[in-house]
Amino acid sequence: MSIVVTGATGHLGRHVVRQLLEKVPADQVTAVVRDRDRAADLGVRLAVADYNSPETFDGLFAAGDRVLLISGNEFDKGRVRQHTVVIDAAKKAGVALLAYTSAPESLRAALADDHRATEEVLVGSGVPYVLLRNGWYHENYTEQLAPVLEHGAVVQAAGEGRVSSASRADYAAAAVAVLTGEGHENTAYELGGDEAWSFAEYAAELSRQTGREIVYNPVSVEAYTAILTGAGVPGPLADVFAGVDAAIAKGELVVSTGDLSRLTGRPTTPLAEAVAAALKD
């Protein structure tokens, strides 16, 4: 039996592997990667496979494995088809559990469409599943601070909407709890941070920590899309990001279940802490 993590060299995957090594021996963890060289530092067994090449998953899983399917980020390559490749291979092998990083049930933006469709495939497959419906990540914002600090403004199309974000490490800890625990089969968890915040509050926190005046400048979805494309974001991806902001304005990324802190056994990382860490980098 092995715990198998797909997409293991991505931001979330690396957190998961590191935290798994705090709980289980390295020889019980397999990282699925596309590029072996990028994974040399993971310290676990490696399997090379690609969501776009179904044959690379032949024989990769074994009966009794616990698998974490981290959703792909290639929006233009048919993510549902990619995910189905992994689900089919897991079913053929007879894995004990397949956990999938999805999106909150409340999210209606286009970003959620692939997640909903993947959930349908997974639930219909008969494989014991866990739906880890991850909310938004602090890092979606704290890793994009350069233009905010340069212009002294947080620019979003989210109105007065609030976000229950948490850190990647928090969501990774939830995945590890499921992969190493018992009694999670055929369950969906709605995961988000303990405290929801608005972009005005985010701007105020940045002001507090930098000692500079940083304002929140709400714009229309159309204007935000134009800003993103002007900054070099491909049009389809800009539409996805702007659609998420529109969803935030409607309250679709407020997750108040407490599932994340219950699964991890600790409070989620405060936004202020994530901001402080980003400003140090």
pLDDT digits (tens, 9 = 90+) for 35-55: 999 998 999 999 999 999 999
Average pLDDT of the chain to the nearest whole number: 96
What is the rounded average pLDDT of the residues 209-223? 97
- Given a contact cutoff of 8 angstroms between Cβ atoms, the answer to whether 274 and 168 are in contact is no
Strands 162-163 and 197-198: antiparallel
| pLDDT at residue 174 greater than cutoff 90 | yes
| pLDDT at residue 77 greater than cutoff 90 | no
Which pair of structure tokens corresponds to residue 168?
């990647």
| pLDDT at residue 237 greater than cutoff 90 | no
Please tell me the distance from the alpha carbon of residue 143 to that of residue 147, in angstroms, as a whole number: 10
Classified as helix, coil or strand, 167 is coil
What is the rounded average pLDDT of the residues 205-212? 97
The pLDDT-based confidence of 104 (bands split at 50, 70, 90) is very high
Looking at residue 281, its pLDDT comes to 79
Please tell me the distance from the alpha carbon of residue 70 to that of residue 50, in angstroms, as a whole number: 12
- Given a contact cutoff of 8 angstroms between Cβ atoms, the answer to whether 260 and 166 are in contact is yes
Please tell me the distance from the alpha carbon of residue 162 to that of residue 196, in angstroms, as a whole number: 6
> Can you say how many angstroms the Cα of residue 239 is from the centroid of all Cα atoms in its chain?
19
What is the rounded average pLDDT of the residues 78-98? 96
Contacting residues for 262 by C-beta, under 8 A, at least 6 apart? none
| pLDDT at residue 270 greater than cutoff 90 | yes
Q: What is the pTM of this model?
A: 0.96
The pLDDT-based confidence of 236 (bands split at 50, 70, 90) is confident
The pLDDT-based confidence of 192 (bands split at 50, 70, 90) is very high
Angle CA 104–160–226, to nearest 5: 85
